[in-house]
Amino acid sequence: MNATFERRLTRDWDDPGVIGIDGYCAKGGYEALKNALNMEPAAIIDTVKASGLRGRGGAGFPTGMKWSFVPTNTGKPTYVTVNFDESEPGTCNNRELVERDPHRLLEGTAIAALAIGCRTAFIYVRGEYLAQGVILEEAIGEAYGAGFFGRGIAGSDVDLDIVLHRGAGAYICGEETALLSSLEGFRGQPRLRPPFPAVEGLYASPTVINNVETLMSVPDIVVRGPEWYREMGTEKSPGTKLFTISGKVERPGNYELPLGTPLRVLLEDVAGGVLDGRSLKAWTPGGSSTPLLTAEHIDTPLDYESVAAAGSLLGTGAVMVLDESDCVVDAAQRMTRFYAHESCGKCTPCREGTWWAERVLGRIADGYGKAEDIPVMADMGKHIMFRAFCALADGAASVIDSSLKHFREEFEEHVRLGRCPLREEHVEVASAV
Amino acid sequence: MAVFEGDRLEEAEEILGRYPEGRERSAIMPLLYLAQSVEGHVSRDGLKEIAGLLSLTTAEVEAVASFYSMYRLRSTGTHVVSVCTNLACMLRGAGEVYEAAHQAAGMRHGQELSDDELITLHEEECLGVCDFAPVAQVNFANHDNVTPERMRELIAELRDGSVPEPSRGGPAISSFKSASRVLAGLKEAPAS
């Protein structure tokens, strides 16, 4: 990466030594935790609030504010739960962060625990991240051995345990209340909010749930201060973010950039442009749940406000790139199949809506669509969006709405020609192998 | 013969101990992985024994097991081959990779377990390795930038009795049972 700024989250990626605790400590690791042990919990929260750090899991909620919502006088224990269920299609930055720098996650988690008086923290890792779970188990073993977890951490009188919990192949468990259900030993289905997890979360106790990248941003904020953190990024979206860029690009990968960097820079300068010199057709700013944008939006700054102004969401910062030769109907159908498969079944609009949408989009993609299918699809989003417990349904509706908004003609051409206009002949793509 | 006996029963107790007192139900997921590591899938007996350990009904355990795709409630191959076909991989040719896997494993339409019961083939949703698309996993170990040719080689290696070295992230996982052990948070390859 041709970084012209000081890398933060990825600064030690060139040094495999930091994967082990000795290498991590040699680079100043766990100093932030020691600092935090000398701070009042309220001061830790104020520091993170002042930094403007926003949750990197998709919603962008201010992290310090989230922590401040946790009551510590209820007589119940409080919990920190790390959301490492990273399953949003197109997203893999948490995976690489943990592979290359696992102790920074543990340190950030420990600091969050201090801020809310938590004595047992959990990491929920998706099952398919088998290798990354093993990396974390080894790091946790080292951190216990060095006294950063267990009884009297780092010579203090604070006890803190950390438990790794593996998921088992359910996208929905990245939704925070579903994650809690899963961690409690139930089917991973979302719960009605309120009560919010900050008040009644894990085991009906006050709980903070944070994304991996969010927590890994915390140690530097504690050591270097909020002003330092705000030197990069924008006023409302401070700091840097790890973007994943994939699909039709020359150099897919995870790249750290200041928030507010335009897509053009990520795509053309950092990722080497669209694959094989073709032109940009469509892209997701933050995983498949965020509305598609087009080549017209190439100069959109990648921060929460600018992407929202362009009609989408920054989400997880996972950019998937479609080029001029890619069929938007195919892409929409594949993404919709994902939501139909991953719908937990709790809410009818999502469970039934995604099932039908997959089929109707499938017949359009395969050249059997009818003229009325397109208005049906356009109408469908209205009956799914905001009509279910959680955002899975909204993501599913966004795929359909945004692809029709920007590429309605392409859908109509499929119906008119009885095949994909981008292909010479009739091919059935949506049918199973 | 019980699913959890001897060392396995001790491991089940160790798993229960990971969670706060009174919150043992949280152990249901690692216990399902442990049962799967013994039998190669989660059997009726496995569900019953987990229910016994947690003072739940078998139906309550089955409700959890049936929700998550990584618990296999029916006969499963020695190895599980997972091919991501979600968008980022699809754009880089995952459809052909999945088709190659199907053909190389000798699967008929709709079949997921090969006739010799060596391979279960699973079409996956996003595996979180979009930077190396298209990707596959063999027993949840990663194989990056997989072409149809490479997929045929992977299947041929499994047929020859060896497990291909993954692209990244540690050693090969010798079987689906072994992967399930790791997923239960235990060391691989127990004495049988």
Interface test with A, best of B125, B129, B168 (most A CBs within 10 A): B125
Task: Give residue B40's pLDDT.
Answer: 97
Give the chain B residue nearest A79 (alpha carbons). B20
Distance from CA of A169 to the nearest CA of B (A): 5
* Cβ atoms within 10 Å of A243's Cβ, excluding its own: 27
Can you point out the beta strands (E) in chain B? 79-84, 119-124, 136-138, 141-143
Confidence grade of residue A3 (pLDDT, cut at 50, 70, 90): low
Pairing of strands A207-211, A79-84: parallel
3-state secondary structure of A144: helix
Query: What residues in B contact A246, CB-CB < 8 Å?
Result: 88, 91, 130-131, 133
Distance from CA of B139 to the nearest CA of A (A): 9
B47 touches chain A (CB under 8 A): no
Peptide bond into B134 cis (omega under 30): yes
pTM reported for the whole predicted model: 0.96
Which are the contacts of A119, defined by CB distance < 8 A and separation ≥ 6? A77, A113, A159, A160, A161
A277 touches chain B (CB under 8 A): no
Overall average pLDDT of the B82-95 stretch: 97
A93: nearest Cα among A323, A257, A281: A257
Say if residues A374 and A411 touch (Cβ distance below 8 Å): yes
Q: Is the dihedral of CA B43, B48, B50, B51 positive or negative?
A: positive
Task: Give residue A1's pLDDT.
Answer: 44
**Mean pLDDT score of chain B, rounded to an integer?**
95
Overall average pLDDT of the A8-37 stretch: 97
A146: nearest Cα among A14, A41, A31, A10: A31
Task: Give residue B192's pLDDT.
Answer: 44
Task: Give residue A2's pLDDT.
Answer: 45
Identify which of B82, B133, B185 has the shortest CB distance to residue A246.
B133
Interface test with B, best of A19, A86, A88, A92 (most B CBs within 10 A): A92
ipTM of this predicted structure: 0.97
The larger pLDDT score, comparing residue B125 to residue A424, is at B125
3-state secondary structure of A293: strand
Query: What residues in B contact A184, CB-CB < 8 Å?
Result: 23, 25-26
Confidence grade of residue B133 (pLDDT, cut at 50, 70, 90): very high
- At position A266, the amino acid (one-letter code) is L
Tokens describing residue A398: 């966004």
Q: Is the pLDDT of residue A432 over 90?
A: no
Identify the H or E element spanning A333: helix A328-342
Identify the H or E element spanning A283: strand A280-284
Tokens describing residue B108: 């008929």
Q: Is the pLDDT of residue B31 over 90?
A: yes
Distance, in Å, from the CA atom of A167 to the CA atom of A171, rounded to the nearest integer, reads 9
Estimate to the nearest angstrom the gap between the alpha carbon of B104 and the chain centroid.
20
Task: Give residue A354's pLDDT.
Answer: 95
For every residue of B43-76, DSSP letters joined together read -HHHHHHHHHHHT--HHHHHHHHTT-TTS--S--
Say if residues A281 and A409 touch (Cβ distance below 8 Å): no
Can you point out the beta strands (E) in A66-205? 79-84, 120-125, 161-166
Task: Give residue A57's pLDDT.
Answer: 92
Confidence grade of residue B191 (pLDDT, cut at 50, 70, 90): very low
Task: Give residue A426's pLDDT.
Answer: 75
Tokens describing residue A130: 């088998």
Distance, in Å, from the CA atom of A77 to the CA atom of A82, rounded to the nearest integer, reads 17
Contact state of B131 with A254 under an 8 Å Cβ cutoff: yes
Identify the H or E element spanning A254: strand A253-258
B176 touches chain A (CB under 8 A): no
Cα torsion at A366, A369, A350, A209 (round to 10°)? 50
List pLDDT tens digits, range A355-398.
999 999 999 999 999 999 999 999 988 899 889 999 999 999 99
B102 touches chain A (CB under 8 A): yes
Distance, in Å, from the CA atom of A411 to the CA atom of A138, rounded to the nearest integer, reads 50
Phi, psi for residue A244 in degrees, rounded to 5: -100, 125
Task: Give residue A72's pLDDT.
Answer: 87
Overall average pLDDT of the A42-57 stretch: 97
Q: Where is average pLDDT lowest: B49-53, B155-159, B166-170? A: B166-170
A163: nearest Cα among B80, B63, B149, B19: B19
Q: Which residues pair with A242 in a beta bridge?
A: A256
Task: Give residue B188's pLDDT.
Answer: 67
Task: Give residue A394's pLDDT.
Answer: 94
Contact state of A130 with B182 under an 8 Å Cβ cutoff: yes
Task: Give residue A104's pLDDT.
Answer: 98
A416: nearest Cα among A331, A329, A335, A355: A329
Contact state of A166 with B183 under an 8 Å Cβ cutoff: yes
Interface test with A, best of B96, B122, B126 (most A CBs within 10 A): B126
Contact state of B91 with A326 under an 8 Å Cβ cutoff: yes
B-facing residues of A in 180-209 (CB < 8 A) are: 182-188, 203
Tokens describing residue A176: 């925070």
List pLDDT tens digits, range A249-286.
999 999 999 999 999 999 999 999 999 999 999 999 99
Phi, psi for residue B179 in degrees, rounded to 5: -60, -40
Say if residues B32 and B64 touch (Cβ distance below 8 Å): yes
Q: Where is average pLDDT lowest: A56-60, A98-102, A242-246, A410-414? A: A56-60
Task: Give residue A204's pLDDT.
Answer: 97
B118 touches chain A (CB under 8 A): no
In this structure, chain A runs to a length of: 433
A118: nearest Cα among A28, A54, A45, A58: A45
B125 touches chain A (CB under 8 A): yes
Q: Using the 8-state DSSP alphabet, how is residue A151 labeled?
A: S
A322 touches chain B (CB under 8 A): yes
Distance, in Å, from the CA atom of B92 to the CA atom of A320, rounded to the nearest integer, reads 11
Confidence grade of residue A140 (pLDDT, cut at 50, 70, 90): very high
Contact state of B140 with A288 under an 8 Å Cβ cutoff: no
Say if residues A175 and A190 touch (Cβ distance below 8 Å): yes
Q: Is the pLDDT of residue B169 over 90?
A: no
Q: Is the pLDDT of residue A428 over 80?
A: no
Say if residues A163 and B18 touch (Cβ distance below 8 Å): yes
Say if residues A397 and A358 touch (Cβ distance below 8 Å): no
Task: Give residue A431's pLDDT.
Answer: 59
Distance, in Å, from the CA atom of B42 to the CA atom of B35, rounded to the nearest integer, reads 6
Q: Is the pLDDT of residue A433 over 50?
A: no
Q: Give the angle A8-A14-A16 at the CA atoms, nearest 5°.
A: 110
Say if residues A110 and A160 touch (Cβ distance below 8 Å): yes
Contact state of B131 with A244 under an 8 Å Cβ cutoff: yes
Q: Is the pLDDT of residue A13 over 90?
A: yes
Say if residues A153 and A37 touch (Cβ distance below 8 Å): yes
List pLDDT tens digits, range A288-340.
999 999 999 999 999 999 999 999 999 999 999 999 999 999 999 999 999 99
Q: Which residues pair with A238 in a beta bridge?
A: A233
A241 touches chain B (CB under 8 A): no
Contact state of B91 with A248 under an 8 Å Cβ cutoff: yes
A163 touches chain B (CB under 8 A): yes
Query: What residues in A contact B129, CB-CB < 8 Å?
Result: 92, 95
Portion of chain A with pLDDT greater than 90, in percent: 94
Identify which of B64, B142, B166 has the shortest CB distance to residue A187.
B64
Identify the H or E element spanning A394: helix A392-417
Pairing of strands A207-211, B119-124: unpaired
Contact state of B30 with A320 under an 8 Å Cβ cutoff: no
Which are the contacts of B75, defined by CB distance < 8 A and separation ≥ 6? B40, B41, B113, B117
* 3-state DSSP percent of chain B in helix, strand and coil, to 5: 45, 10, 45
CA dist A325 to A129, A276, A279, A414, Å? 32, 11, 9, 15
